[in-house]
Amino acid sequence: MKKISQLGLALFFATLSTVWIGCGDDVSDPSADNDQFDRSVMLEHWVDGFIIPGYKSYLEAIDSLDAKAKKFVADPDISRLNDLRNNFGFAYNAWQEVSMFEIGRAEELALRKHTNIYPTNREEILSNIISETYNLTLPSTFDQQGFPAIEFLIYAVSETDLLIVDLFNSNVAYKTYLTDLVTKIRILTGEVYTNWTTGYREMFIEDAGSSASSSVNRMVNDYLFYYERFLRSGKIGIPAGVFSGSPLTNNVEALYTFTPTLSKSLYLNSLSSFKNFFEGKSKYNGNGPSLSEYLSYIQTLTSGANISSAIEAAIDNAIEVSNGLDDDFYTQVEEDNGKMLATYDALQAVTVLMKTDMLSALNVSVDYVDADGD
């Protein structure tokens, strides 16, 4: 057997340390000198193609919801209740397109926690209304506000639509609480949008380096955290009982909506928005540089695995599996939870590819704690 010199061993292990196994092939981590991908152009497309126009569209939807809420509060009746519900569904879907962008001012304000923590706390909401003393800035009230709380008030606060209308007609405290909930979302969203359009956009794009605190690294982490915790687990895994051992039907998103139910449409909108961002496909500004393109660029440097195609195929498979779900996730969990579990498995395949293969290829370290153990 030939002897290997100490220098040879050192070179061997130095080389081995840069080799990354992904998608069944060897993929090297490109050095900073070789990686010439223009991150600033990708950041610009993220901001101008997704974040700013997404928040603008969402804010417009919230303004419409606010207008319908004011009309209903001014003179509650069945017609105005239905108009309010229609605008509620539109705004809730618009939220799904920007929820993943919890960065900058949105992160500072905890926008997602103020907007969409479910299941909502019915008992505390009613207690707040009765006492007329509450502080929606407190973290302890996250489950008493946002879309889930609005949903409860306009769909399930009483047994029938007529009784809901009567309740709002006879008790001004219900009107006040509904108004406060919508106003809270509108103010916070407006602050986030204004921050992006008055200086933060430029700061975000300029921070195009590769450090842990750079815009790309932070956005990738926030994007993946959203997918794991709020899309995969929140919308599918938790109600399906993946983490509890038994189904939690009351934990589905949009629990109270009907004709139409919203749980599936919200989920699919969230998943398609996640996919479009990965592929750089903006409905506002066309196609542009993306994580998918970045991964393909790295592949040309390393002659490694086609990670981008593998991720896109996994997301497409998750969407295909998801399309087979019932429109009402409560019904789906109750009658055939196996389909929910299969959907979770499909979503989990995306998690594995992104959290291991993608992050390694991009040389991005995870900056959040994953309690699910993935």
Domain ranges of the chain: 1-30+214-374, 38-208
- Identical fold, 1-30+214-374 and 38-208: yes
What letter represents residue 71's amino acid? K
Give the 3-state secondary structure of 52-115.
HHHHHHHHHHHHHHHHHHHHHHHCCCHHHHHHHHHHHHHHHHHHHCCCCCCCCHHHHHCHHHHH
Give the side-chain half-sphere CA count within 13 A for 308: 17
22 strand-pairing partners:
25
Q: What share of the chain is helix, strand, coil (3-state, %, to 5)?
A: 70, 5, 30
Q: What is the spatial distance between Cα 226 and Cα 233, in angstroms, rounded to a whole number?
A: 10
Q: What is the pTM of this model?
A: 0.90
The fold of the 1-30+214-374 domain, in CATH, is A middle domain of Talin 1 (1.20.1420)
Maximum Cα interatomic distance, the chain, rounded to a whole number of Å: 93
Q: What is the spatial distance between Cα 115 and Cα 100, in angstroms, rounded to a whole number?
A: 12
Query: pLDDT value at position 372?
Result: 57
Distances (CA, A) of 174 to 44, 130, 160, 257: 43, 9, 16, 19
The fold of the 38-208 domain, in CATH, is A middle domain of Talin 1 (1.20.1420)
Angle between helices 39-46 and 291-302 (to 10 degrees): 160
Cis (ω within 30 of 0) for the bond into 260? yes
Query: pLDDT value at position 3?
Result: 32
Q: pLDDT in tens for each of the 374 residues of the chain?
A: 333 333 333 333 333 333 333 344 444 444 445 778 999 999 999 999 999 999 999 999 999 999 999 999 999 999 999 999 999 999 999 999 999 999 999 999 999 999 999 999 999 999 999 999 999 999 999 999 999 999 999 999 999 999 999 999 999 999 999 999 999 999 999 999 999 999 999 999 999 999 999 999 999 999 999 999 999 999 999 999 999 999 999 999 999 999 889 999 999 999 999 999 999 999 999 999 999 999 999 987 777 779 999 999 999 999 999 999 999 999 999 999 999 999 999 999 999 999 999 999 999 999 887 655 45
